[in-house]
Amino acid sequence: MADTARHPFLQGLSKHRGAPPTVVVIFGASGDLTARKLIPAVYNLAHDNLLPADFFLVGFGRKAIPDEEFRGLAADAIKEFSRRELKTDVWDRLAPHTSYVAGGYDEPAAFTRLAAHLDAIEKQLGRAVQPLFYISTPPTVFAPIIRNLGASGLASRYLGQPHQAKVIIEKPFGRDLDSARALNATIQSVFAEPQVFRIDHYLGKETVQDLLVQRFANSIFEPLWNRNFISSVQITVAEEVGVGTRGGYYEQSGCLRDMIQNHTMQLVALTAMEPPVSLEAEAIRDEKVKLLRAIQPLNLGPSGDVARAQYGAGMVAGKQVPGYLAEEGINPESATETYAALRLSINNWRWQGVPFYLRSGKRLARRVSEIAVTFRRPPGTLFAEGDKFDLSANTLAFQIQPDEGMHLVVNTKIPGLETRTQPVKMSFRYRTTFGSNTAEAYERLVLDAMIGDGTLFIRGDETEASWKLCSPVLEVWEAAGREGMQSYAAGSWGPTGADALLARDQRAWRQP
């Protein structure tokens, strides 16, 4: 049975959007992200007939890999990681248009070869092909690639036309405000902003996009979306996993850089921004950056607005796991935080006096990302709290992962002759309403970049506004070393310091 027959709500959702003939060039094509996300995304777009009829995929990397071998690697990646099985008819369309160019990321001649390769594709096709460069390498080579795209003329192909060259840049976008500014300056010396797509795959998630729909397509929420009705907002991005084999990478990053500065701050911006004047990318991004700039500098003193910690040993999913300092590749004296919590104050008309609490960490009790908006308590005149009345503050929670959906906590009368109340949860789940095999974030994002829609990507000024808030925190933590670093048991909900952050406001973290 077709998905649409089983799930009537699916009807009408498939929106075919025509992208021009495109060649996607992946830098770092032998990497983990390419195999796990990018090639499966391209395959699923092909499966759904969302790619242009003339679509080409070119891998780029330092190792010499023959075209045939690269196709084999791509097919293996689809078999292992795609949400759908590899179908011969789909792959037979994609494989002949898949090729590979070898070269160094800082080697100008390699980019001349790449340009010649794109010329040959166009000559064979007999028409112009939009180049979409996907930089999926470690960040140390972002700048050399961008400079070489400029020097080789690849960045200015079809400049000013709808099929002008475009570039997707992976995270992390800088390690602090200065490096983010430097990277933006390099990008802007080569590309115009509409050519640039800074990725944060969180923005490709259904529930994150749904946030805009919930806020602005329902007249019941927006009138309440301000300090008069909302008392606080909690944003949680919790991971159950530890650092695993990525200790070397994580030691250089930490939770604030890895999660808070990008994903979590984007969630703050989308939750709190003013209604944009349209759904155009620039209108939305203007509002997001305005909101990010309205966040007050954090109090970084003792009993201030931030908390950090590392996980200790503990039990996760019934198994004993080691603490961070005992993990592979971790310095036993490490001062890298695996947990961070922030209390933000937004200094604008809508949000003054409404704290936004953010937390993220590894080895927490369960993997969950949610935005929970807590409303003010009803006046206690009729249903004062007590034995009979378990009055909860209304909470609207957007669950971003896993089990995407939305939950509203309301107070209800327990059936019976006596009037007693109980908070209950009204839930909407994507899985049950729309089916579970929905597109992955990278599918949506690659397609959007192909059609030049930057709505779900981060503009240069947004990255800098977010770093402006986070960079001073990192400076203070780096200067303090291990002093003040807290610990929490793996499998718990985090350190006591983060509880104290809310306790000072007579609040507690939710259990999502």
Q: Which of 47, 163, 201, 263 is catalytic?
A: 263
Residues in contact with 450: Cβ distance below 8 Å, sequence separation at least 6, in sequence order: 19, 20, 22, 24, 52, 130, 132, 166
Q: Is 28 in the site for ligand NAP (CB under 6 A)?
A: yes
Sign of CA dihedral 265, 271, 274, 278: positive
CA distances from 512 to 234, 398, 401, 492 (A): 10, 10, 11, 13
Give how far the C-alpha of residue 119 lies from the chain's centroid of Cα atoms, to the nearest Å. 34
CB of 201 to ligand NAP, least distance (A): 6
What DSSP assignment string belongs to 113-137? HHHHHHHHHHHHHTS--EEEEEE-S
Among 20, 52, 108, 139, binds ligand NAP (CB under 6 A): 139
Q: Is 247 in the site for ligand NAP (CB under 6 A)?
A: no
Which C-beta is closer to ligand NAP: that of 34 or that of 184? 34
CB of 415 to ligand NAP, least distance (A): 49
Query: Which residues on neighbouring strands pair with residue 421, listed in sequence order?
Result: 389, 413
Q: Which is nearest to 135 in space by CA: 196, 49, 66, 223?
A: 196
Q: Which is nearest to 141 in space by CA: 107, 100, 189?
A: 107
Among 30, 186, 392, 411, binds ligand NAP (CB under 6 A): 30
Interacting residues with ligand NAP between 47 and 106 (CB under 6 A): 61-63, 105
Among 22, 137, 271, 471, binds ligand NAP (CB under 6 A): 137
Among 66, 72, 96, 138, binds ligand NAP (CB under 6 A): 138
- Residue given tokens 């090639």 in the structure block: 39
Residues in the chain: 512
Q: Compute how many residues bind ligand NAP; rule: CB under 6 A.
A: 19
Interacting residues with ligand NAP between 106 and 125 (CB under 6 A): none
Sign of CA dihedral 485, 490, 495, 498: positive
Stretch that binds ligand NAP, among 124-132, 135-143, 471-479, 488-496 (CB under 6 A): 135-143
Give how far the C-alpha of residue 92 lies from the chain's centroid of Cα atoms, to the nearest Å. 32
Which C-beta is closer to ligand NAP: that of 184 or that of 395? 184
Stretch that binds ligand NAP, among 31-39, 215-223, 270-278, 365-373 (CB under 6 A): 31-39
In one-letter notation, the amino acid at residue 74 is: A
CB 121 within 8 A of CB 84: no
Q: Mark whether 97 is an active-site residue.
A: no
Cis peptide before 332, with omega less than 30 degrees from 0?
Answer: no
Tokens representing 68 are 């045939």
Q: What are phi and psi of 353, to 5 degrees?
A: 85, 0
CB of 81 to ligand NAP, least distance (A): 11
Tokens representing 141 are 């080579």
Q: Is 33 in the site for ligand NAP (CB under 6 A)?
A: yes
Among 32, 119, 280, 475, binds ligand NAP (CB under 6 A): 32
Which C-beta is closer to ligand NAP: that of 142 or that of 351? 142
Among 20, 31, 423, 472, binds ligand NAP (CB under 6 A): 31
**What is the distance between the alpha carbons of residues 269 and 274, in angstroms, rounded to a whole number?**
9
CB of 143 to ligand NAP, least distance (A): 12
With residues binned 3-state (H G I as helix, E B as strand, rest as coil), the percentages for the chain, rounded to 5, are 40, 20, 40
CB of 35 to ligand NAP, least distance (A): 8
CB of 347 to ligand NAP, least distance (A): 32
CA distances from 387 to 378, 412, 418 (A): 17, 15, 12
Stretch that binds ligand NAP, among 83-91, 139-147, 311-319, 353-361 (CB under 6 A): 139-147
Interacting residues with ligand NAP between 412 and 471 (CB under 6 A): none
CB 440 within 8 A of CB 44: yes
Cis peptide before 355, with omega less than 30 degrees from 0?
Answer: no
Stretch that binds ligand NAP, among 1-9, 169-177, 258-266, 378-386 (CB under 6 A): 169-177
Q: Is 140 in the site for ligand NAP (CB under 6 A)?
A: yes
**What is the distance between the alpha carbons of residues 291 and 276, in angstroms, rounded to a whole number?**
12
CA distances from 199 to 184, 185, 308, 391, 428 (A): 14, 17, 26, 42, 28
Which C-beta is closer to ligand NAP: that of 351 or that of 457? 457
Stretch that binds ligand NAP, among 25-33, 223-231, 284-292, 481-489 (CB under 6 A): 25-33
CB of 105 to ligand NAP, least distance (A): 6
Report which residue's Cβ sits closest to ligand NAP. 31
Residues annotated as catalytic are 263
Q: By the criterion CB under 6 A, which residues form the site for ligand NAP?
A: 28, 30-34, 61-63, 105, 136-141, 170-172
